[in-house]
Amino acid sequence: MAEISHLDESDQPLMVDVSAKAETVRVATATCLVTLGRVLLSQMDDGELRNKKGPVLQTAILAGITGTKKTSDLIPLCHPLPLDSAKIEITPYNDESLLITATAKTTSRTGVEMEALTGASVAALTLYDMCKAANPAIVISDLKLAKKTGGKSDYKA
């Protein structure tokens, strides 16, 4: 069975001690699908979707970036990290869905996987919030770590 790193010898929650690790450049990318529906996506104009709340995609991008920066406030055992960059991209996936790609980068002792995953999640939830009046059946799915580099090992889905 794989080791759970956030538990101590007594199975109590633990923030992992990373003080002995070397600072390295670490990058993580997460993806998520948001199925808005054909009608909603057909309303995109010049790559943007607007409603009474404002520019939907731009707002979701800003929210996703904020999510990467606030990860340690939301996930109790995450280390607060100095982010070197955070990028959220929202692109058409098919005629019903958008693909959110969140990339976070740091030079630190621990990885930024949670920051990328949180950024993608918050961007998706913002899309839902801004579009739910037009379609309450929006589906957020397939949130996953797509790749990470730096630290002990690299990963690619």
Instruction: Give the residue numbers marked as catalytic.
Output: 129
| 38 Cβ contact partners less than 8 Å away, ≥ 6 residues apart | 95, 96
Q: What SS3 state is found at 128?
A: helix
- Among 153, 106, 107, 116, smallest CA distance to 32 is for 116
Can you say how many angstroms the Cα of residue 136 is from the centroid of all Cα atoms in its chain?
Answer: 22
